Amino acid sequence: MGYRIAVVGATGNVGREMLSILDERGFPVDEIVALASRKSQGTEVSFGEQTLKTKDLEQFDFTGWDIALFAVGSEATKVHAPRAAKAGCIVIDNSSLYRYDADVPLIVPEVNPDAIHGYAKKNIIANPNCSTAQMVVALKPLHDRARIKRVVVSTYQSVSGSGKEAIDELWDQTKSIYNPVDNYQAKVYPKQIAFNVIPHIDSFMDSGDTREEWKMVVETKKIVDPKIKVTATCVRVPVFVGHSESINIETEDFLDEDEARDILREAPGVMVVDKREDGGYITPIESVGEFATYVSRIRQDVTIENGLNFWCVSDNLRKGAALNAVQIAELLGREVLKKG
């Protein structure tokens, strides 16, 4: 027996990745349906060798379906996720809507798999923010060994995190710079993204932080440990796919860089590429299409007693979104539904 799976937002970047990853990982699917807004109804998407025609989300009845992977914005999720959950279909939501709800588990399977059983309160599970997901995969094994007190992170986030329109904007802007006849005006970002970096992701808050930075703080506490102090600076960079992070941690116990490297090599979901030579590290372009969270540049921070620096890279459409959602579905299958 397999599962009846609905992919909501199947025509978007993340929805398409969800379909691809379900197939790649051999998820036990009995039946699958691609759902989208009415304007996208009939659009064809791929699931392995199959071609699926999208159906209208608003008219869809979730009764009898096992799991719905949601990859739509918070407004649509607010309407349709409770409807699916009420019909008995477990929702795995990629939006930010339920992440900070005490009755909804926020899960990264390599980090806090035991939280899966909390789904039953609302029949909804939240997927974390893309920048948080990859970071906590690297933090958790180090925290288990030496107790992390404080994290300082600067992100270098690709434009695909803003959706297809942002990918088009980077492409069109880059072309227009080489062809001055094209006078391309920015539509997605407040400043030029081509050949530039923008220290602004999501809206500004009264504290001076952006909401993206706030998300990393709150989500790390909920997923790993509420006692960890986190400060973040989130930056959009002219890269199509793949988020990178410069991470500094301070631990309660001393952790040697060599032991940290060994711990991360054994950690689930982590791939260490750390040679102290030209090219002996991972860049975002090498992470595209991969499942792993990559860690490089592991070294002691000698300015504090117990400090480490490292570089963390992952495909934001995969571990930062679609892959993590599918891994949650796999965990749900193993621990709760037990069909496949």
Q: pLDDT tens-digit profile of 28-43?
A: 999 999 999 999 999 9
Q: What percent of the chain has pLDDT over 90?
A: 95
- Where in the chain are the domains? 3-127+321-336, 131-158+197-314
Structure confidence by residue, pLDDT tens digits, 52-82 = 999 999 999 999 999 999 999 999 999 999 9
Q: For residue 185, what pLDDT band results from cuts at 50, 70 and 90?
A: confident
Q: Bridge-partner residues for 152, per DSSP?
A: 231, 248
The CA–CA distances, whole Å, from 170 to 197, 217, 267, 317 equal 12, 28, 35, 17
Query: Within a 10 A sphere around the Cβ of 131, how many other Cβ atoms?
Result: 28
Task: Determine which one of 80, 89, 130, 234 is catalytic.
Answer: 130
Annotated binding site for NADP(+): 11-14, 39-40, 160-161, 180, 316
Q: Give the mean pLDDT of 261-282.
A: 98
Which residues make up each annotated binding site for substrate?
Answer: 157, 236
Sequence ranges of the binding site: 11-14, 39-40, 99, 157, 160-161, 180, 236, 316
Contact status, residue 241 vs residue 286, Cβ threshold 8 Å: no
Q: Is 243 a catalytic residue?
A: yes
Mean pLDDT of the chain: 96
Whether domain 131-158+197-314 has CATH 3.40.50.2000: no
In this structure, are residues 60 and 33 in contact, taking their beta carbons and an 8 Å threshold? yes
Query: 86-138 pLDDT, tens per residue?
Result: 999 999 999 999 999 999 999 999 999 999 999 999 999 999 999 999 999 99
pLDDT value of position 35: 97
pLDDT digits (tens, 9 = 90+) for 299-323: 999 999 999 999 999 999 999 999 9
Domain 3-127+321-336, CATH among 3.90.1580.10, 3.40.50.720, 3.90.480.10, 3.50.50.60 = 3.40.50.720
pLDDT tens-digit readout, 141-167: 999 999 999 999 999 999 999 999 999
Mean pLDDT of 275-296: 98
Q: For 3-20, what is each residue's pLDDT tens digit?
A: 999 999 999 999 999 999
143 in catalytic set: no
Phi, psi of 259 (to 5 degrees): -65, -40
The 10 Å Cβ neighbour count of residue 277 is: 6
pLDDT at 94: 96
Q: Tell me the pLDDT band of 338, cut-offs 50, 70 and 90.
A: confident
pLDDT at site 1: 79
Torsion-angle region of 165 (φ positive above 0: left; ψ -120 to 50: alpha; else: beta)? alpha
The annotated binding site for phosphate is made up of 99
Predicted model pTM: 0.95
pLDDT of 340 above 70: no
Catalytic hit among 89, 234, 243, 312? 243
What share of the chain has pLDDT > 70, as a percent? 100
Tell me whether the CATH fold assigned to 3-127+321-336 matches the one assigned to 131-158+197-314.
no
